[in-house]
Each structure stands twice: as C-alpha cells, then as structure tokens.
Chain A
Amino acid sequence: MTEKKPIKTTIPEHEVMKPGHLACQGCGASLAMRYATKAIEGEAMFTLPACCWSVIDGPFPYSSLGLPLLHMAFEAAGATASGIRAALNMLGQKKVKVIAWGGDGGTFDIGFQAISGAAERDEDILYICYDNEAYMNTGIQRSSATPYGAWTTTTPVKHFEKRPKKDMVEIMAAHKIPYVANVSVAYPEDFVKKVQKALSMEGFKFIHAFAPCPSGWKIKPEDTIKIAKLAVQSKIFPLYEVEYGVKYNLTVKVPNPVPVLDYLKLQGRFRHLTEEEINIIQKGTDENWDLLMKKLENK
C-alpha cells in the first residue's frame, strides 16, 4: 500500500459555519459564506437583509452562522451595519469587524440607497453581496443583477431579460472606497485572500461574490463549481479588485478563454437562446473585458 500524502489546504482549515443550515443542494450562497467566514481572523458580527440567508441560517432559536447576527429588513443592511459599527466603537470594540451580507436583490435593488450612503460615509464595514442573479428566495424573479438573456419567472422565455446586468462593482468603485472586488465560489483561494485583504483595511469595503443557484439557474447541484469556473474562464465574471476607485488589479488571469456558449449551455435559464442572442452576449462580454483591460492599465 502506498502511503497517502496529507492534503495541503491553501485556505484556512477552521470552520466557523455550523452544520444544520437550510440551503439547497449545491447552493453557491452557503459556500460563499463558508469561505468568507474562514477568512475572518479575530471577532466579527453580521447583519443580513432579507435574502436566501434569512432562511439558510436556520429557524429560531437555531443559527448556523456561528457568529452574532442581526436579521434585518430588505433595504436596510448598509445602515444597520453602520449602526452596529457605531455602537461597537462606543463600547470600546473597534477591533470587532462588521460584515453586512446580502443577496443581489437587497444589494443591487432595494438596498442600494443604504449601501451607497454607508459607502459614501466610508463606514468601517465590509459589505459582501452573494449574487445569484435573481430573487431566488421568493422563487426566481428578475433583479437588476439578472443578465441579458436569462429566464426568470418575471422574464419568461418569450420575454427573457433584455437589459444587461447592472455593474455594481463599478458603481461601488465610483464611491472611491478603499476596496472593491469580485470573487467566485469556484476560486476559494482568491475568495479568501480578498476577504482577508478587505478586513485588513479601514473604511467601506465591497465584495461581490458570484454564487450560482441550482434551482434558479436550472443547473445540476453538482455543477455549481463548474459553472462558476466557466463564468470566469469565459470572461463573463472577471476576478479583479479596485482600490480607492482607481487602482485596478486582475487577480485571476484568463490566458485561454472559452466561448460564453460553454457557460450558457449548461444552464436551463439560457436554454431558449438562439445563436443570434448568444452572439449578443459574446459581444457584450468581449466589450466589457476590453474596457476592464483599459482600466487595468491604470495601475
């Protein structure tokens, strides 16, 4: 018998999240939380607006997060986190990190004002948006994070989503806050490193986490990572970071990009798309990438 080599992990081994959470199989949002909490060194508190995680955490009196957590109204995460931050400062607990954790609905749409306010005030908090590209908790309705071409229950096949996804990362970068980054559940090392970096900085940090939703995207639960990886490799979801709104850095290079079709064809939500529409997505993806490359020159 050959001796087994010990597995060398490149992300922290300790687990913060407890077993017993209520996420669906293959849920990107639960993986995202697992990676994010692994990255926390020291003490932290969370607030959650209404989102899948309002359910995932578990029913009263249970909680699977393993950290203090304030559930909050849909549009209120940015302001609630500001209040927690202020209270901790007053109680001599400046070192305790405050993390707001919201879905794309609570971040891109209804919570947008409170997030923009907190970012503009440069509150010392980390906001992480786990983006599954629609209102999944209510049963797959489109949000402003839903990409062009996608089916949702409010953008049915005959009338699929016609608008491009709102570029939240660029909007947040425009607030000139210390740190903004894209992360993906398919790239845990990059994910953890960015959360660690964000938590080491003072001021408002925004992290946008790509989190596939098997039931909402009509994908196999076992394909979550594969699809998240293809989103990066097809240049649809570039992994980059922006410091102070100007300093751009691509953290995962894409030397051998794949066509967007490879990413789209595994997902039931894009099944209806014709070649023409896929070309529109390819063109838009290339244009966005070229624009990003120009910003990357500004190092």
Chain B
Amino acid sequence: MRKLLMGNHAISVGATLSRVQVIAAYPITPQTQVVEMLSEIVADGKLNAEFIKVESEHSAMAACIGASTTGARAFTATSAQGLLLMHELLHWAAHGRLPIVMANVNRAVAPGWTIWTDQNDSLSQRDTGWIQFYVADNQEVLDTIILGYKLAEKVHLPVMVNLDAFVLSHTYEAVEVPDQEKVDAFLPPFNPEWKMDVKNPRAFGGLTSSDVYMEFQYNHHEAMEQSKKVIAETCGEFEKIFGRKYGLLEEYRMEDSEYVMVTSGTISKTSRIVVDELREKGVKIGILRVRTFRPFPGEEIAAALAGKKKAFVIDRNISYGKSGIFYDEIKGALYNKGMNLPLFGFVIGLGGRDVTPAHLHEIVDYGMKHDRPTEEIIWMGVKK
C-alpha cells in the first residue's frame, strides 16, 4: 500500500513490520515521532511488544542489550546527544554480537545547541563495531529497517540506520508500505543460537584475559568483513520479494561518466538535479552514493572510480584537524590500488545549513577548474 509518510513514521512502520519485541527509547528532537508513534502502536495492541519508556538513551541501549541477549528482537531510535550518551554501550552491543537495529536521525552536535542535520553524531561512532547505513529517502528508511534485522541476525552485528534530520525525518514522501505477510516471509522470527537461557545457564560478557580478547576482536572484524557479502545477498533476497534494489553503494548515471560526485544521505538526491543539468550540457558526470559506511566498501568504491578523471567527495561532517570523513576514508581506500585520480574533499552544510543545487554546481565548477586539490578541506559556503 502506498502511503504518505514522514521519515520518522517510516522508521516506526519499518520497526512494526519487523515485529520487534522490545522497544526501549528516549525522546530527542528530531526523533520524537518515532517514540510517539511506536508507543501508541504498542499501547493499542497493534504490535505485540514491550515498550520500555527509559529515563535516558544510555538506558535505552542497556535495555536493548538485555532484551537482545535474552533472545528478543530489540529496537531503539535516537539522535545526536542521545547517540553520544549511548557510546559506551554501542561498543557493548557490538562486542556482545547483538543484532539490535537502531535508527539514528543525523543531527549536529552541541554546543552551540542545534537540532539541524549533519553526520558528526554517527560518524563519531565509527569504531564501535556497528554496521552503518546512510539512507537517502523515506522508502529506503523503511526498507533498511527491515533489511537491517535480516542482516543483523545473519551476521550477529548491530545495525544503525542513519537519516538526515528534518530533510528526511520530518519530510513527507510517498512510501510503498509492504504487506506484513511479505515481510514475514523475508524476515523469520528471531531465534538466536546463543541467548540467556535458564535451561543452559551461561555468563555473557565476563572477564577475559589477553589470551582470548584479541580473538574476539578478530572474529568481530571478520563478521564485519563478511557482512559485505551478506549485505549483497540480503539485498538480493529483498529485491526478489519487494522489487526494490539496494546495495553497498548506489550509482547514478555512472556508466560513461568521467567525473563523479561521491555523496551520502539526502545530498545524493539533490545532486541528481545537478548531474541531470550538467549532462544536458554534455558534461559526463555521475553520482556514487556511499550507502554503507561500515563495513567500508573501499574495494567497491575503488572499482567504481577506476578510470574516472576526477571525483568530488561531499561531506556533511568533519574530522577536526583532518578533513571530511568520507573523503578521508575514500582516499585511504584508493592508495593501495595505485589510483591517483584527483580526489577533492568538500565540507558543506554543517549544522543543517542548506545544501542547494547551486552549492553543488559550485562544487563541480571548483573541481573542474583545479587540476588537483591543494587542501584537505575545501569549505563550501563558510563565512570567513
């Protein structure tokens, strides 16, 4: 059924269709509609689940960890400061190899107080061991929650679905809401091999020595690496049932392109306008959208950029004293491939400053005019 949904409702519908059993969440702008809608759905008995109205995001993740270890499908949603408060337990969930799915509405970090979008909240959780997706429309929001559980429960890793504050969270779009039967066929009930079980009492997360700790980390990393293949597989299964195609990356007009805009999140969709306009003028340009940030699809990005003349990486985030974060990671991925294409790193739209087609044209113009970047960050629209 086609419905008009805001991003936050797409999250809630995705979680409901995934038949989550335990929800523990704390309200934060701009995620609040997720908490509101899901608490109503549960209270009305439309979803058979327990909703724990916790007193903090830290407790939200703790409750999800408790629930998931006990064998229930657990869900939470947060944003910015809330995600940062969870940080310790993000590691815990991932080290515990728990298939929790969380929606994070990308909001810039205070101070100064702000509720508008950028990606620094989730990108600063890079090394917690969570799978991270960055989605670009509300259909993808809903679908990635369902896909996320399938994937998480296959590879025993938690999944974070990131969407831009307001640009998606509060924007209504037509979304195809799949039938429950189809989702059930795609996503069977959660039945983990290892869980807290009174019939088989075991301790989870106990004291380890250096004799075993490193092997846990190795296994965690291997699972993350493996998940690249599993993402492709799972997306294939999803496409068969629902007819919508997703992957590690998304390409737009890339076939014969010489120039590439490398994007993530909703900027990818704005970039399509720019690419279409430039194509009209004969500029051979395309878009490579990084949908999966962890595991990082370095090989796949390198393959997609092979033979291109230039690439323009657009970051709505920053690693202070370095560069845009996607830019940094992509540059690293190309080095051992012997690839030396000029790679420009643009930082734009922090704290929700609008990113319009005009800005993106400016980015392409800059890239076209310069042989190579001379700085790690090319700031766009900053008042110096």
Contact = CB atoms under 8 A, between A and B. Distances in A.
Interface string B63-103: 11111111110100000000000001100100000000000
Interface string B321-348: 0000000000000000000000000000
Contacts of B67: 83-84, 86-87
Given A54-B207, A87-B72, A121-B52, A81 B198 contact: no
Contacts of B207: 54-55, 57-60, 71
B24 A79 contact: yes
B63 A59 contact: no
A115 B124 CA distance: 28
A83 B65 contact: yes
A78 B59 CA distance: 8
A264 B11 CA distance: 59
A287 interface: no
B198 A96 contact: yes
A80 B62 contact: yes
Interface in A35-79: 43-45, 47, 54-55, 57-63, 65-73, 75-76, 78-79
A65 B207 CA distance: 14
A246 B62 CA distance: 31
DSSP majority for the A interface?
mixed
A170 B60 CA distance: 26
Nearest to B70: A87
A117 B59 contact: yes
A113 interface: yes
A288 interface: no
Contacts of A90: 21-22, 48-50, 72
Contacts of B202: 63, 68-69
Given A69-B202, A84-B67, A89 B58 contact: no
A202 to B, nearest CB: 15
A132 interface: no
Q: Which of B21, B58, B62 has the most CB of A within 10 A?
A: B62
A86 B92 CA distance: 19
Contacts of B50: 86-87, 89-90
B205 interface: yes
Contacts of B200: 68
Contact of A71 (B72, B198, B203): B203
B206 A71 contact: yes
Interface string A110-128: 0001101100110100000
A88 interface: yes
A71 B205 contact: yes
A91 interface: yes
Contacts of A45: 70, 196, 198
Interface in B31-72: 48-50, 52-56, 58-60, 62-72
A82 interface: yes
Contact of B53 (A55, A76, A121): A121
A97 to B, nearest CB: 10
B127 interface: no
B203 A65 contact: yes
A79 B58 contact: yes
A206 to B, nearest CB: 16
A67 B62 CA distance: 20
Given A59-B208, A79-B58, A83-B22, A69 B66 contact: no
Contact of A57 (B49, B65, B66, B203): B203
A290 B373 CA distance: 78
A120 B58 contact: no
B203 A69 contact: yes
Contacts of A72: 62, 65-66, 92, 205
Q: Which of A61, A62, A73 has the most CB of B within 10 A?
A: A73
Contacts of A60: 203, 206-209, 212
Contacts of B204: 69-71
A188 to B, nearest CB: 24
B66 A82 contact: yes
B201 interface: yes
Contact of B66 (A44, A63, A87, A117): A87
B160 to A, nearest CB: 18
A288 B106 CA distance: 51
B197 interface: yes
A70 B63 contact: no
Interface string A174-206: 000000000000000000000000000000000
Nearest to B198: A43
Contacts of A55: 207
Nearest to A45: B196
B206 A54 contact: yes
A139 B94 CA distance: 29
A111 to B, nearest CB: 10
A59 B209 CA distance: 8
Contacts of B49: 90
B56 A113 contact: yes
Q: Which of A62, A79, A90 has the most CB of B within 10 A?
A: A79
B197 A68 contact: yes
Interface string B201-230: 111111111001000000000000000000
B55 A113 contact: yes
Given A58-B207, A59-B209, A60-B208, A83 B70 contact: yes
Nearest to B88: A73
Contact of B201 (A63, A71, A83, A88): A63
Contacts of A85: 66
13 contacts: A43-B198, A60-B206, A60-B209, A61-B206, A68-B196, A69-B196, A69-B204, A72-B62, A72-B66, A73-B62, A79-B63, A86-B72, A113-B55
- Nearest 7 interchain pairs by C-beta: A83-B66, A117-B55, A83-B63, A79-B59, A87-B72, A87-B70, A63-B203
Given A91-B71, A121-B52, 6 more contacts: A60-B206, A70-B196, A80-B62, A81-B66, A82-B24, A117-B55
